[in-house]
Each structure stands twice: as structure tokens, then as C-alpha cells.
């Protein structure tokens, strides 16, 4: 049972490690997606600025500036929404890994406790059997020697 408990602990650690690797992969994916969103945002703003300049409007004030600010705000909001979702996923994976480790430790502890109880039960049973074999003589466990009975 101790080997089963050790295996339970190893399995839990392996599962938690796999979740940690997945969490790291998600973090790297998030960083790459943020980088791409930033580049895409710059391109969109540059294209918008070029379109506005091409119309002859002054881009440093008024409606064109408000359009640029609105675009930047929307891009920032998309980036924030994405980061929040990715952060929640990473947190979920971390919590799941911790939970698996805790469950593994708990199961291993329970298996070890059951093994101890089984061992104790076996020892008591063996002792009872031995007492029955050696104490089960006629006279209810007493021995008569030289006319005297000992208990």
C-alpha cells in the first residue's frame, strides 16, 4: 500500500507539472498575441492617419483626433479583454494543478493509513491465533503440574 501511495503522489505531481507546462505555454501564447495585436493596432492607426491626411484634414485637432482617440481606446479595450481572459485561464490552470497535488497527497495519506490499519489488524489476528493455539489446552488455558494448577 505504501508503493500505491507513492505512485499516487507521483501521478499527482506529473499531472500538476503537465498543467504548469500548459500554463507556461498559454503565457507565451498570450505574449505573442499581445505583440501581434500591438502591431495590428499600429498599422490600423497609421492607415487611418494616412487616410485622413490624404483628405486634407488636419489630424492634430477636432474630429480626426477624436476618431484616432476612439480607435486607440477600442484597441486598448480589446487588448485588455484578451489579457483578462488569458490571465483567468492561466489562473485556472494553476489552481487545477494545486488541487491535483492536494488530492494526490490526501489519497496517498489515506492509502498509508489503510495500510497501517491492515497491518495492525493482521498483527492482532496473528496474536489471537497464537493465543488460541497455545492457550487452548484443556482446563481453559490452565496447566496442571504435580497436582498444582497454574493459570
Predicted TM-score (pTM) of the model is 0.50
Average pLDDT over residues 2-24: 85
CA dihedral 87, 91, 96, 98 (to 10 degrees): 150
Question: What number of other Cβ atoms are within 10 A of residue 12's Cβ?
Answer: 21
Distant-in-sequence, close-in-space partners of 50: CB < 8 Å, separation ≥ 6: none
pLDDT at residue 128, rounded to an integer: 66
Indicate the pLDDT class of residue 16, thresholds 50, 70 and 90.
confident
- Pick from 32, 38, 20, 15: nearest CA to 107: 15
Going by C-alpha positions, the residue among 13, 22, 16 that lies closest to residue 86 is 22
Mean pLDDT score, 70-96:
84
100 versus 125: the higher-pLDDT residue is: 100
pLDDT greater than 70 at residue 41 = yes
Amino acid at each position: 500500500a505504501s508503493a500505491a501511495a507513492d505512485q499516487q503522489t507521483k501521478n499527482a505531481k506529473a499531472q500538476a507539472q503537465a498543467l504548469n507546462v500548459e500554463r507556461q505555454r498559454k503565457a507565451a501564447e498570450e505574449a505573442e498575441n499581445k505583440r501581434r495585436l500591438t502591431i495590428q493596432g499600429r498599422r490600423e492607426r497609421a492607415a487611418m492617419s494616412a487616410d485622413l491626411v490624404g483628405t486634407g484634414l488636419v489630424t492634430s485637432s477636432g474630429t480626426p483626433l477624436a476618431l484616432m482617440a476612439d480607435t486607440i481606446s477600442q484597441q486598448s479595450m480589446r487588448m485588455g479583454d484578451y489579457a483578462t481572459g488569458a490571465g483567468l485561464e492561466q489562473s485556472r490552470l494553476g489552481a487545477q494543478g494545486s488541487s491535483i497535488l492536494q488530492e494526490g497527497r490526501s489519497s496517498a495519506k489515506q492509502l498509508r493509513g489503510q495500510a497501517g490499519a491492515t497491518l495492525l489488524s493482521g498483527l492482532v489476528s496473528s496474536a489471537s491465533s497464537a493465543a488460541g493455539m497455545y492457550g487452548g489446552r484443556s482446563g481453559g488455558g490452565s496447566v496442571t503440574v504435580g497436582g498444582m494448577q497454574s493459570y
